[in-house]
Structure 1
Amino acid sequence: MEKEEPLVNAEYLLQKFPGKGGWTYTEIPEIIQNKKTPFGWVKVKGSIDGYILNQYKLMPMGNGKLFLPVKAEIRKKIGKQAGDHVRVMLLPDESPLKIPKEIILCFENEPRKAYENYLNLTEGEQKTYLDWIYNAKTKDTKADRIIKMMDKLLNNQKLLGR
């Protein structure tokens, strides 16, 4: 198997958008926006100071450049904050969204139409469903959300909207 060539492998300065709740990020000027994706996002995998990133999106800054958002969880693990330098190594991530095993088992107990309708959603719409389910605070809420997802899919409905 050929080893992929990194899109970037360099030191970057962590910065913070101004204002309350401003995101911490690093600008990645070497990578250009993808005209075929929403907002020009570029999906990547790799690492930041050794912290593994998978299915991560570079986002547009509004000036034609992209930035890598660095969540508090990551900053805490790597012990860095705005003003510090970090080593960022990024590769293109073409991997499809993974459907958790427990969700696949639920699809197996439903009419095939539910799974087919799920597959016809965009990756973003699929991820919205999965995030909604896995952000539940209790097992009961999670189970209720899985049931609601199956019902909506059987009626060819998205989580948000129609």
Structure 2
Amino acid sequence: MSTAPGPIDLEFTAPIGIEIKGDTWSCVEVPGSVEFFGTGKAIKVVSTVDAQPLTVALMPTGSGGHMLSISAKLRKKLGKEIGDEVTVRLTERLS
């Protein structure tokens, strides 16, 4: 569990696209995030998505987890679309 800011190491592969209230959002769900971070609130992290650096806030999904937003610009850079898998590595908790 990582309840305070500092280095972390969590890596996972997940598809882009989370259904929220009938819409598909360009996000990936972070598995086991509430247990890992000890909170269901937003958390700012340093990460990589398919080796591209990204500092972002993990937002609550509303169903007991967190999601990391994948912008259209980042998807284009990665050559990925909704439904494609990405490898995410979280390396530092900032908040």
Which protein shows a greater Rg? 1
What TM-score comes out, normalization by structure 1 length?
0.47
Shift of residue 10, structure 1, vs aligned partner: 1.9
- More strand per residue: 1 or 2? 2
SS of equivalent residue, structure 2 residue 12:
strand
Equivalent pair of 1:16/1:82 in contact (CA under 8 Å): no
CA deviations on 1:18-62 (whole Å, 9 max, x unpaired) are 44xx52011102221664xxx7001111100111112x1000111
**What is the aligned partner in structure 1 of residue 81 from structure 2?**
81
Report the counterpart of residue 27 of structure 1 in structure 2.
29
Does 1:46 pair with 2:47? yes
Superimposed CA distance per residue, residues 81-136 of structure 1 (whole angstroms, 9 cap, x where no aligned partner): 111110100123328xxxxxxxxxxxxxxxxxxxxxxxxxxxxxxxxxxxxxxxxx
* Aligned twin of 1:147: none
Q: CA RMSD in A?
A: 2.1
Size of the aligned set, in residue pairs, is 85
Name the SS of the counterpart of 2:33 in structure 1. coil
Between the aligned partners of 1:91 and 1:31, the Cα distance in structure 2 is 14
State whether structure 2 residue 30 is matched by structure 1 residue 10.
no
Contact (CA 8 Å) 1:34, 1:40: kept in 2 or not? no
One-letter code aligned to 1:43: K
Judge conservation of contact 1:44–1:57 (CA < 8 Å) in 2: yes
Q: Percent identity?
A: 29
Give the aligned residue type for 2:79: G
Give the TM-score of the pair, scaled to structure 2: 0.75
Gaps of 5+ in 1: 96-162
Structure 2 residue 65 is the aligned partner of structure 1 residue 65: yes
Q: Tell me which amino acid in the other structure corresponds to 1:87.
A: T
Q: Check 1:80–1:25 CA distance in 2 against 1; reply closer, same or farther (3 A cut).
A: same
* Bigger share in helix: 1
